[in-house]
Amino acid sequence: MQILESYLEGAWRAGDGDGAHLYDPTTEQPVARASTAGLDLGAALAHAREVGGPALRALTFAERGDLLARMSKAIHAEREALIEIGRVNAGNTRGDAKFDIDGATGTLMFYAGLGKQLGDRRVLRDGELAQLTRNNRLVGQHIRVARPGVAVLINAFNFPAWGLAEKMAQALLAGMPVLGKPATATAWMTEAMVRAVVAADILPAGALSLLTGSAGDLLDHLTWGDVVAFTGGAETGATIRKHPAILANGVTVNVEADSLNATILLPGADEATYDAFLRAAHTEITQKSGQKCTATRRILVPAEMVEDVIEDLGAMLARTKIGDPADADVRMGPLASAAQLASAREGLAALQAHADVVWGDPEGGAAVNDGVGHFMTPVLLRAKAPLEPGPIHDREVFGPVSTLLPYADLDEAIAATRLGQGSLVTSVFGDDRDALRALIEQLAGWHGRLVITDAKIAEKALSPGLVMPHLQHGGPGRAGGGAELAGEAGLALYTQRCAIQGNAGLLDHILA
């Protein structure tokens, strides 16, 4: 039994008692445990603020970027061990584990490169100089500097490596110390990743902390200079936002929550575009067993093409081997935990009141791996009333489940997509430029990202669920209203904007 520890005040610490158990979702056997009982989280945050914060703020962006590059290399060196942990603790296939780990190291390296570009300075200019009077000597300049607190990074179970790394990269580059709080169910990979960084002795004291297990009274100790970046369910996000200490102290909170992402296939799509649509739909149903916040939950198809899509996509799903991720031929493993399987089954039942199963077996998971493990086989549904508000548009089933929504014209496709009430990403596959222009204009306000694929890029198109550090990750409305990544823009969450007024020549010299 692996005993997971927290890294607080520069030391690895085990909590009292047994705490929570972590399981292998393929065998249902316990593999690790984690406890935070008895840990002084107020002291841990104070250490990060008082030791880690000043040390990071004393470094230039280039120097902080160098730290991120070294962190990326340290994690990559443990790649094989991390892949095995992903299999044992999260039911990841090798491909799914690599997707998580390589996403983490790649994002760290991207922000390392950004640090190098920002160079030997500690202050970011935010916009241009503003002349304040007729005399052009008196000006104002907005700047951004690191917030004077701790970035508390609370992450979901599905990406224990990438989830922490994408937030950590931005916060550390901005100059804020971080305290990572992974979801307990799959925290083993996060703990191993942080151990690799700590062992490499890369970061200044206090710059990195990790809480493995229950959050306990962590939020009670937050102050005005701190930031909470949360990824997970909308209900938990709302609880964090309403926490008394967060409200009383004006703590900045960023939430990335539920999302009913959509894919839209346009009429008359080129064969290459249609093939790209099928590949993306298949990937988003099966990758990570459908346990991605960016996975496609609603597939909008011209009514006259629905039967073809069911046949073609169903054939791809039928060729996807499901089972023990230790088997090299397996392409989809179990859901991460018993709780996730129960939630997905409950959600699927809710969808079935409004949609018919057109491919797959809702009970098919019971026949996988001799009935042992948290397996769920892919299911495609067809909405009975695509434009009717209800579970299809507001119940995210976090598993290999997607619903087909036939539409008659572009207005119906737009209306149905908007019923998601704000999403992380919608992807559009088509070659009609007028229709693509209309969709961008009519849907951009409902989304954090739109992915457009036509025949010219179809063969090289990235799956819409792939989050790139260059672009924003986050979305409005039910998606949480938060925003992460987006290159340099991602530093905004962890920096304070300040307006400086003064002598133009002096400011230009100081802020050069």
The residues assigned a catalytic role are 256, 293
Instruction: Tally the C-alpha atoms within 13 A of residue 164's C-alpha that lie toward its C-beta.
Output: 29
3-class DSSP assignment, residue 85: helix
User: Which residue reads 């290399």 in tokens?
Assistant: 73
Residue 79 CB partners (closer than 8 Å, separation 6+):
98, 101, 102, 105
For 235, phi then psi, to 5°, come to -65, -45
* Under 8 Å between Cβ of 361 and 377: yes
* Under 8 Å between Cβ of 123 and 484: no
* Under 8 Å between Cβ of 496 and 145: yes
Radius of gyration of the chain (CA): 24
Closest CA relative to residue 299, chosen from 155, 150, 160, 464:
464
Closest CA relative to residue 463, chosen from 474, 476, 449:
449
For 426, phi then psi, to 5°, come to -125, 140
355 strand-pairing partners: 383
Q: Which residue type sits at 489? A: A
Sheet with 2-4, side-by-side order of all strands: 2-4, 29-34, 20-24
> What is the rounded distance in angstroms from the CA atom of residue 454 to the CA atom of residue 465?
17
* Under 8 Å between Cβ of 406 and 303: yes
Q: Which residue type sits at 442? A: Q
